[in-house]
Amino acid sequence: MRLKLHQFGELVGILLLLASTATQMFYLDPLDRDIQWRLTAFTVQQSAQVQLKTAYDNQLGLLRQLNAPAAEISAIEAKRDSALAQYRNSDADISDFMIAKEGVEEYLQIIVIALFALGSLLAGLGRTLDMLAARKAAGE
């Protein structure tokens, strides 16, 4: 049995629909989950950063109220700055990841939509032409 042109178009349309679904399932959804997990980690990290800064600031305030030696206060300030610097590095890592993946995600979403639209159009057109051919054959 030989495929007619419209049946071949319908088959290509169905393959495009499957490619669209596969791209969505196997790349876009995991990428979106990865982005969401990193955003959640970033939010938790930001909260921890604020809490850490507050704890050090409270400790420094108490030391100043108790007239602690300047060396002890500067040591605590150095520890605070060191701890907060670690957060700044990971903030930059997360933002770099988000910037890099944002463009990829947008392009893939456009590709998925285009594949789905083209696949639907070809499958629908092929089915329509097949039904017209069947109706024409039945009318003869």
CA distance 84 to 63: 20
pLDDT at site 58: 93
Distance of CA 58 to the CA centre of its chain: 38
pLDDT digits (tens, 9 = 90+) for 126-135: 888 888 888 8
- Res 137: pLDDT: 85
Q: Where are the beta strands (DSSP E) in the chain?
A: none
pLDDT band, very low/low/confident/very high, at 91 (cuts 50, 70, 90)? low
**Model pTM score:** 0.64
How many C-beta neighbours within 10 Å does residue 35 have?
A: 15
φ and ψ of 63, to 5 deg: -65, -40
